[in-house]
Amino acid sequence: MNFLLLCVMAFSFTLFTALFERLGRNSDNKRRRMELISAKGKKILDEDIEAPFFKRFLQPTFYKMLKSLSKFFPKGKTAKENKRSKLETNLALAGIRISPSEYTSARMIFTVGTIALTIVALTIIKKMMALKILLYCVGVMLAVYGPRFYLTTRINSRQSAIRNEMPDVLDLLTVSVEAGLGFDSALSYISHYSEGPLIDEFNIAEKEIQMGRPRREAFKKMEERSNVAELKSFIGALIQTDQMGVPIKNVLQAQASQLRIGRKQTAEEKAQKAPIKMMFPLVVFIFPVIFIILLGPTVLQVIATFKG
């Protein structure tokens, strides 16, 4: 009886959700649009309240723990100082807004935790020595090279995202400037309606300019934090425009067109490299299976014939 009641309740809930989910979604969308129009672009709810539980509680707690642990890693000099400077540059390129000491603490926590989990798994698995050896090797490699691999992957993905975002962002800037906004106002306008690593870098540069840093130095810092060739070219054009007094609209149009052509050429280059990259898995994994399927019965018949 209880099982039947649970089934009826689950069916009723599913049916109610299927019938009224689209209606509720449309009603919520209309309500949000009306609130945005009535608020005239202002934020309706507090960002801290809208943020998920991970960003409101877990992430600040973890950062506090990292700051407390980073005190145990003193600042070195000479070779250690160079290593720290390189790590700080890599963190900036990856978009991770923590100090090198905090990153070192996080890496130590990850390494110790991975080794501890590996030891627990090895103690649970009592037999299968081959599996133990494989698990031990995977755990050690993950503990040693995991943070480094994550940092490198984060840098590459962020730089790729900046390259892909640049033509669209420059088009938005061009339209905003042609509509009558200044460059700083256009950046501020776009940052409210777009998101991404390039927008984040522009926001940081804009805040630095508002705090009194010269525009040229702010853009140079943004160039160092990204290390993307296309962005370096764009920043160089902006600096020259600011110095020579050329209309920035023409520069934005030329840069956006050039970046769009470059992105198209990069996509064509990747498409031409795809057959060469597919050759290795075809030769190693697919062709042998095809040969076994096609020639296997024939080889067996030949062997049987010679034996007979």
**Confidence band for 40, pLDDT divided at 50, 70 and 90:** very low
CA distance 190 to 197: 13
| pLDDT surpassing 80 at residue 48 | no
Asked whether 218 and 205 are in contact (CB, 8 A), the reply is yes
Report long-range pairs for 152-158 (Cβ below 8 Å, ≥24 apart): 154/94, 154/95, 154/96, 155/90, 155/93, 155/94, 158/93, 158/94, 158/95, 158/197, 158/226
Query: Residue 246 — pLDDT band, cuts 50, 70, 90?
Result: confident
- Find all residues with CB under 8 Å of 139, minimum gap 6, and list them: 114, 115, 117, 118, 121
pLDDT, residue 44, reads 44
Q: Region 111-126: what's the mean pLDDT?
A: 84
Provide CB contacts within 8 A for 107, sequence distance 6+.
147
Would you say residue 75 has pLDDT above 70?
no
| pLDDT for position 223 | 84
- Residue 41 banded pLDDT, cuts 50, 70, 90: very low
- Say whether pLDDT at 30 is over 80: no
pLDDT score recorded for residue 267: 82
pLDDT above 90 as % of the chain: 0
pLDDT value at 32 more than 60 = yes
Using DSSP's 3-state secondary structure scheme, residue 179 falls into coil
Give the mean pLDDT of 13-41: 62
- The more confident residue out of 8 and 161 is 161
**140-162 confidence digits (pLDDT tens):** 888 888 888 888 999 998 988 88
Q: Tokens 């810092």 appear where?
A: 221
31-45, 207-221, 256-270: least confident range: 31-45
Across 63-90, average pLDDT? 66
pLDDT for 188-198, tens place per residue? 788 777 788 88
pTM, full prediction:
0.62
Ordered by where they begin, the domains of the chain are 47-157 (no CATH), 160-266 (1.20.81.30)
- The predicted model gives 105-125 an average pLDDT of 85
Beta-carbon contacts of 138 under 8 Å, excluding residues fewer than 6 positions away, are 118
For residue 17, what pLDDT band results from cuts at 50, 70 and 90? low
3-state secondary structure of 33: helix
| CA neighbor of 222 nearest in space, from 185, 175, 257, 187 | 187
pLDDT at residue 11, as a whole number: 58
- Lowest average pLDDT, out of 17-21, 188-192, 210-214, goes to 17-21
How buried is 41 (Cβ within 10 angstroms: 0-12 exposed, 13-18 middle, 19+ buried)?
exposed
Structure tokens at 193: 């309606």
Amino acid at 218: A
| 167: CB partners within 8 A, 6+ apart | 256, 259, 260, 263
- Of all helices (H) and strands (E), which one includes residue 210? helix 197-210
- Residue 142, C-beta contacts closer than 8 angstroms, at least 6 positions apart: 114
Q: Give yes or no for residue 265 having a pLDDT over 80.
A: yes
In terms of C-beta distances under 8 Å and separation of at least 24 residues, what long-range contacts does 170-178 make, across chains too?
170/234, 170/252, 170/255, 170/256, 170/259, 171/256, 173/252, 173/256, 174/249, 174/252, 174/253, 174/256, 177/248, 177/249, 177/252, 178/249
pLDDT confidence of residue 45? 47
